[in-house]
Amino acid sequence: IVAGYGDEAALTELAEKSDLLTYEFENVDQDALARVQKRTGVLVPQGVKLLTVTSNRINEKNFLRTHGLPTTDFAKVASPAELKVAVKELGFPAILKTVSGGYDGHGQWDINSEQDVKNMLEKWPKNLLAILEKRVDFVKEISVMVSRDNCDQVKLWPITEN
């Protein structure tokens, strides 16, 4: 089945052919998944609530901070005027990202100078809801994978460098 992440007909077809559905990508349409789960009764072991956190960069950062984990400084940006304010608060360098839907550089813009701000304001995408993040100078990126089975046994997979 090849379809978009929000294609309910395709998701329903997959659910009807499966014992359970899992996801590994935060861009799955949580509303579509919840409706299909309710309609078909398919098991979604991860639940849908997790997507509410991971599919929205602002929710994700607030969740991490609420649980005592550090994040880079950030600001919600829903308009060109808010971008100007956020840049004044956070400074350069920064990166503007879509709140949802972007991945691996898609839906992201480097904001390293006043000229970058000017360029962004001139080509502001319609209905953009974004987050401006202070750029972090990091040495490497790692992934931590954790799984839990139906008996609530948790397994931590080896940490990998991306």
Tens-place pLDDT, residues 27-81:
888 899 999 999 999 999 888 988 889 889 999 999 999 999 999 999 999 999 9
pTM of the model: 0.83
Q: Per-residue pLDDT tens for 74-111?
A: 999 999 999 999 999 999 999 999 999 877 778 999 99
Q: Which residues make up the CATH 3.30.1490.20 domain(s) of the chain?
A: 72-134
Written in H, E and C, the secondary structure of the chain is CCCCCCCHHHHHHHHHCCCECCCCCCCCCHHHHHHHHHHHCCECCCCCHHHHHHCCHHHHHHHHHHCCCCCCCEEEECCHHHHHHHHHHHCCCEEEEECCCCECCECEEEECCHHHHHHHHHCCCCCCCEEEEECCCCCCCEECCEEECCCCCEEECCCEEC
CATH superfamily of 72-134: ATP-grasp fold, A domain (3.30.1490.20)
pLDDT grade for 14, boundaries at 50, 70 and 90: very high
